Copies of this chain bind each other. A is one copy, B any other.
Amino acid sequence: MREITYAEAIREALRQEMQRDPHVFLMGEDIGVYGGAFGVTLGLLEEFGPERVRDTPISEGVIAGAAAGAALTGMRPVAEIMFMDFTTLAMEQLVNQAAKTRYMFGGKAKVPMVLRTPAGSGTGAAAQHSQSLEAWFVHVPGLKVVMPSTPYDAKGLLISAIRDDNPVIFVEQKLLYRTKGPVPEEPYTVPLSVAEVKRAGRDVTIIATGVMVVRSLAAAAKLAQEGIEVEVVDPRTLKPYDAETITKSVIKTGRVLIVHEAYKTCGFGAEIAAMISEGPAFMYLNAPIRRLAGLDIPIPYNRTLEYHAVPQEENIITAVRELMAYK
């Protein structure tokens, strides 16, 4: 199959959905001629024109709020917030309005919008351009949260998100934009709220999100050489997440490592650990549930410090070995 990048896969999903459904349109800062800060929307302005590919002024609040208002009245906006750090400016509209409208209105309205935003460190952009704030959105009823780790998933999940009738926060991974993988040319969907076992194994379950899926798979390949068979589960949708697939894997392996880039305290990993330890997998555990996550510090600028602020392949390998020490 043809291989394209994660960024191209996202662009293709946008293009194909815009071709299919005239209600789909894009809005955000510098998404037109500039193509977005990471070039994801390059070429779409030329293809669809400025009515449907709308550059906005810097005003994240109204970007989110107007997307919700347009969604409430029949459109399917895909809004972009240039860095996930700046969703901080849109929380009122996302959390109090978009997420709650349907319930508050007695289930009689819907808000089919997608908010795309790139997250993560590793680009030397320091504390205000490197955050992974998905846990906040996972905490909010009414929102869905998606975080793809491969080009294939990125395209299929984005198409699902656009077709979904709820507000979806679509968290893209900066460090994955240029990674390549097989992606069908025709439109297809990857269902929301279905996790995928990216690698099967019997000894340890790694539950990883986003770029950490890639690092976990690399770690798993090395660990296999030592005879340790790691199963890597990628939730893909973080809200509502697929507890069943995770639980099944944990029951099989009895050992759990959760890996994410976001700050450890009250991150998504806390939720997964809590879910496991209150659920049916609890009694199958052979070792404490281990979380490997970003340090609880703002992302530092210095390259070496930045590297050490979030989990790397070698940290995953070490953590798995430590888990294997429990008999």
A residues whose Cβ falls under 8 Å from a Cβ of B: 85-86, 88-89, 91-92, 95-96, 99-100, 103-104, 126-128, 133, 135-136, 138-142, 239, 262-263, 265-271, 273-279, 282-283, 288-291, 295-298, 300
Chain B: minimal CB distance from A289 (Å)? 5
Q: Contacts A136-B139, A288-B278, A288-B279 known; A298 to B100 CB distance under 8 Å? A: yes
Q: Specify which chain B residues have a CB less than 8 angstroms from the CB of A276 in the assembled complex.
A: 277
Chain B: minimal CB distance from A72 (Å)? 16
Residue from B86, B141, B282 within 8 A of A296 (CB atoms):
B141
The answer for the CA separation of A103 and B301 in the assembled complex, in Å, is: 11
Are B139 and A127 in touch, CB under 8 angstroms?
A: no
Q: Specify which chain B residues have a CB less than 8 angstroms from the CB of A266 in the assembled complex.
A: 135-136, 138-139, 266, 268, 270-271
Are A142 and B273 in touch, CB under 8 angstroms?
A: no
Are B92 and A263 in touch, CB under 8 angstroms?
A: no
Are B277 and A139 in touch, CB under 8 angstroms?
A: no
Residue from B103, B275, B279, B283 within 8 A of A298 (CB atoms):
B103
The answer for the CA separation of A278 and B91 in the assembled complex, in Å, is: 32
Residue from B96, B128, B263, B298 within 8 A of A88 (CB atoms):
B96
Can you list 6 residue pairs at the A/B interface with Cβ under 8 Å?
A138-B265, A140-B263, A141-B297, A266-B268, A266-B271, A270-B273
Are A267 and B298 in touch, CB under 8 angstroms?
A: no
Are B296 and A288 in touch, CB under 8 angstroms?
A: no
Q: Specify which chain B residues have a CB less than 8 angstroms from the CB of A139 in the assembled complex.
A: 133, 135-136, 262-263, 265-267
